A and B are shown apart, each in its own frame.
Chain A
Amino acid sequence: MNRRTVIKNLALVIGGAVLLPSCLRKDGTSYVQLKHISLDGDQQNLIADIAEIIIPKTDVPGAKDLNLPAFVLKMLDDCYNKKDQLAFLAGLDKFNTLVKTKYNSTFSDLSVKDKEAVLIGIENSNKPKAGSKAPARRPKPQKNMAADPLNAFYWSIKQQTIFGYTTSQFFMTKEIFYDMVPGRYNVHFPVSKLKLKLA
C-alpha cells in the first residue's frame, strides 16, 4: 500500500467517523448510533448479516465493505415513522422465531446457503407486484411498507440495502457511470450506440 492510498484510506475512515456518529461494538465493526429505533448489538448484527447476503462480497465489494449496514440502520432510524418502525421490530422477532423453529439456530450461525434460503423463502411468499415500472425521479424505498411484519422487516432491509448500494460512490463510479453533468442531449440516438450492460 503506497503512501497516497494510506492517506486516502485514513481520510475515508475519518470522514466516515465524522459523517456517521457510531458506536464501536465487540467485533470491531461500528454502526450508527440510533435515536428513534431501539436495536441492540445482536439485532444490528442480524441486519448487517442480512444485508451482506443481499449484497455479498463477490469480485466487487459487498454490503459490509461499503458500510451499507450503517446506512440501512440510519434510514430505519430517520426515515421510517413510528408505526413502520414498530412493524419492523415485530417482523424482526418473527424472523428470529422463524429461523429458530426451522433450523434451531440463529440466522448468523447458518451457512450462506441456508441464509439465502431463508430470505428467498420470505421473498417468494410475498412478491411486490410484478411488472416493470419506470424509476421515480425521487425513489422512496421506505414508502408503501408491507403490512405483514415479517415482510415489512425483510423488504425494508432489502430495499434500503439496494438503495444504499446503487447510490453508493462505489456503484455510481465503478459499476455504472453516473453522469452528473452530461452537458448534452442527443435526441435521436441509436440504441446500438448506448453503453449499456445488457441483461
Chain B
Amino acid sequence: MKKSVYLRLAVDGIRKNRRLYLPYMLTGAVMMMMFYILAFLATSPMLSHMRGGVTLSTILPMGTSVIAIFSLLFLFYSQSFLIRQRNKEFGLYHVLGMDKWNICRILFWENLLVAVCSIASGIALGVAFSKIAEVCLLTILQEEINYNLRVGMGALIETVRIFGLIYLLLFVYAQVRVYCSNALALLLSSQTGERPPKGNWFFALVGAVVLGFAYYLAVTIQHPLQAFLTFFVAVIMVIIATYLLFITGSVVFCRMLQKNKNYYYKPNHFISVSSMVYRMKRNGAGLASICILSTMVLVTLSSTASLYLGMEDSINDMCPYDINVEITLYEPEVFQAETFAAYRRIVADTGVQQVAQREYPMGEILGVNSDDGIFFDMEVLHDFSPNSYGKLVNVRLLPLADYNRIMKAEETLEAGECLLYSMEKPYTNHTFAIGHSQTLQVQKVLSEFFAEGRSTVELEPAIYLVVKDLDTVRDVVVAANEEAGNSVGKLIWKYGFDTDLPEKEQTDFSRKLGDSVRTFFYDADNQLITGYSYGVDSKAANREDFLNVYGSLLFVGVMLSSVFVFAAVLIIYYKQISEGYEDQSRFEIMQKVGMTRKDIRKSINSQILTVFFLPLVFAGLHLAFAFPLVFKILQLLKLRDVTLLAMVTFCCFLVFGVFYAVVYKLTAGAYYRIVSGLQKS
C-alpha cells in the first residue's frame, strides 16, 4: 500500500472520531499553553529589573514541572481511553486483511497529526495569551504594566521539547497496546458480556479506614510544623482512600442496597441501583480522579487566595509601625535608660519625620512550658523536631512603667510580683516559675495586651510578664541564663514609628537606618564596642516581599487550577460519552418493556446526577477535613485570620460548584444526544 493511503485513513479516523479527538487535542493544547506561559514568564527579562524577580523565577519553574508531570499522566489516560474506544475499528481493519504493522502505520500518522496539531495550536495559544497572563501577573504584583509583545524563544523550544517527548511516549504506548492485542478480541471487545462487579469488602473497608485515619490526622493536628509534615502523609492517604472507596466501596454499597429486597424492588430504586453498580465499576477510577483534582484545585485556590488577601493583616501583624527597629544587647550591664536614649538618637539623627512612635525594652526567655511557669530542659530546647516545638513557650518581660505608658494603665507592682498575659491558653496559677531558681507572684492576669511586632517566624506561643522595673527585667533574664548555663534569654530594645515618607522611600530609608545602627556599634577604628545584633524592618519592604511571594503563588495557583479543571472537564466529558454509548441499548429495551421515555429519562438522570456530583460532595468533604490542616500550614506563612480562610474556601467551593454544574449541563447534552440520537437508526 502506498503511504498516502495510511495518511488518508489516519485523517479519516480522526475526523470520524472528532467527538473524541477534538477535546483530546484541545486539552493537550491548553496544557502546552499553560506550560509555555509559565516558562515564558520565568525566563522573561522583565524579572531581572523587577523587585523580587528572584522569587518569581524560583516559583514559576515549579509550576512548569508540575504541569509537565501532570500532562504526561493525563495524556496517557486520555490516550488509553481513545484506543479502547477504537478497538472495534482496528479489529475491522484486521479482519479486512491489515496486519498489525499496517495498523501501526495508521497510528503513526494519527499520532503525528494529533501531536503536530496540538503542539502548533498550543504554542499559538501560548503566545497569544502570554501577554494577557503577564498583565495579570503584573497586576497581582502591583507592578507597572508595559505593552510590548514578545515571543520567548527559550520557552518555546522548551515547550516543544517537553511535549514532543510526551507525544513520542504516547505513540510508543499506543503501538504497544495495538501490538499486544488480537484481531478477534478487538472486534468483539464491546460485545463480550461483562461480569457483574463483585463488591470487594476488604478493599472497601481498607479505604474507609484509611480515609478515617487521614481525616483524624488532619483534625487532631496541633502544631503548624507538624501539620507541614503530616500534610503530605494525609494527602497520599486521602488519594489512596478515595480511589479505593470510589472503585470498590461504591460497588459494595450498591450490593448492600440490592440485598435489602424491600428497598431494591421499588420502581425508583430497581433500575438505578442495578445500573449504578456497573457505572461505578467502570467509572470509579475516573470519578476518583475528578474528586482528587477538584480537591487539589480547591485547596490550591483557597490557600493562595487567602494568603494574598490576608497579606495586609500579616504585614500589620509583623510590623505594627512603618519602621521597626529591634536591637538585642549581649551585655546586660548596658541594658539601661541611657543606652536607650543613645539608640533613640540614631533614629533622630536621620532627620526623619516621626508621626507616631512606641519604645520599650524587653526581656525574652525561651523555656519549656509547664502549668506553673517554665523550666529549662536543654534536650527539649535543642531538639528542633516538631515534637518539642509544641512544648516551648516564649516569656517576654516588660517593665511596669512602659506597660502603663503604652496601655495608658495605672497598675502598681511590688518587687517579686508580676502582671501576666497569656496569648493562647489561659493561665490559672497564682505563681509563675522561671526555672527552679525564680518565682514571681501573679498579681493579676491581664485580658489584653498591645500588638507586638513579630518579625521572625515564631512558632511558640508567648506569655507576657509585666514586672516592677527595668532592673528586674535584666535580673530575671540574667538569672535564667545562669541557671540554664546557656543563653535562653536575651535583652531587647524595641522602637517603632510611623513616618510621612512615601512608601517607596521607606524601604531605602530602613536600609539606611540599618547601616546607621551598625556604624553606631563600631568605634572610629572600626572596632566592635559591645556585642549586639539588630534588625530594622519596614512595612514597605515586607509588603514587597509578601506581594512577590504570595502574588506569584496565587498566579501559579490559578494557572495550575485551570490545568486541573481542564483535565477534570475532559474526564467528565469522556465519561459521559462512553456511558452514552453503553446506555443506548438499555434505553431501548426499557422502553419496550413498559417504561415511558420520561420514566427512563428520570431514572438515568438521577443516576448521572449521583455519579456526577459524588466527586464534588467528596471533594467538599475532603476540603472540610483538610481545613484545620491547611490553616495550620498557612499559619507558618503568617496567615492569622481563620474567618478569611473559611470565607475564601467557601467562595472557592461555591464558584467551583457552579462551574461544575455548568460543565454537567453541557456534557449531559452530549450524553442525551448519543442515547436518543442513535436510538432512531
Do A and B bind? no
Chain A interface (Cβ < 8 Å from any Cβ of B): none
